[in-house]
Structures are given as structure tokens and as C-alpha cells.
Amino acid sequence: MENPISKSILFLLCVPTLFQLAYSLDIVQQSCKLAAQTDPYVNYKLCVQSLKANPNYSKDANFKDLVMISINQAMGNATEIGSGISDLLKGSSEKWGKYSLNCLKSCLEIYSEAVSDLEKALGALKMEDYGTAHAGLSAAMDAPMSCEDGYKEKDGEVSPLTEINDGFFQLIAISLAFINMFVN
């Protein structure tokens, strides 16, 4: 004969775990959905995909963890972009004209500054200084636009970094939307 008390106890022990599991599975979707609703630059699918794919993501993550993950992703992406630009600059003076080379050098400097801005934003977030974190993210968000603007100043110049710049902009938009949730 089955013991109804043991079933009740088992049920009561499982319910909190199920709620916790459901919450942790939904925090990314919920956060990204809210970010996409409040910021037209946030792509919901990219937000969910990038956060869940990050090796630092865990099912126990809270919202602040997600913000830190998003900033770290943007920082890693900016570093990668800088490395890619450096690779383009190596031995490529024949491939690029003088103007384009100067644009690439400028973009390299811009992304280096973006990494520094993101480091400041991450440090400020850890200290719960959301205003400074917001300022750092906003400064970093200028990087892709400034990089593209350099190419637009001369007719006929085409940026080889447009797609990369767009991707970085979207990663920053996610982080900035998350920070805005703390500020507002």
C-alpha cells in the first residue's frame, strides 16, 4: 500500500526545485524580452542566443549576472575586433589605400578605448554604480558608429568592418538596455 504522506512530502520537496528551475530557465528570456520591448536596438533572438551560449552563463544566474555576462561578451567582442583590425593592418598596405589604412588605424584605437570603457562599466556595475556603468557603456556604443563615420567622410570608401560594427553595436545595446533597467 502506498503511503500518501510520503507522496505529499516528496511533492513539497520537489515544488521549490521546480519553481527554481523554471525561474532560472526563464530569466534570460524574460530579461531579453523586456530589453527588446524597451530598446528598439535590442534583438531578442540575439540577446537570448548570446547569453545562453556564453560559457559563464549558469542556470543559477540572476539578472545582475546576466548584465555582467553581457558586458564581458561585448568586451571580448571588442578585443576580437581589435585583433582582427590588427591582422588587416599587417602587411596590407597594398590592399588598402592610404585613406582606408588611416580609417583602420583609427578604428583600432576606437575599439581599444571601447575595451577600456567596458572595463570601467564592469567595475562600476560590481560596485553598483549604475550611472557610471551606463556612461561607460554609452561611450563604448559610440565605437562602431565612429569607426563607420570615418569611412563615410570620403566618397567611394567602403568600410570592411560594417557587419562587425553592427554586431558590436547590438551587443552593447543589450548591455545598455539591461543597465537602464537598474537605473529606471
The string of pLDDT tens digits covering residues 118-144 is: 999 999 999 999 999 999 999 999 999
Tell whether the model's pLDDT for residue 41 goes beyond 50.
yes
Nine cell digits for residue 112:
581599444
What are the residues whose beta carbons fall under 8 Å from the beta carbon of 171, sequence distance 6 or more? 50, 70, 73, 74, 77
pLDDT score for 91: 65
Give me Rg for the CA atoms of the chain.
21
What are the residues whose beta carbons fall under 8 Å from the beta carbon of 161, sequence distance 6 or more? 81, 85, 107, 147, 148
Q: Which segments of 39-129 does DSSP mark as H helices, in order?
A: 44-53, 63-89, 98-126
Overall pTM surpassing 0.85 (yes/no): no
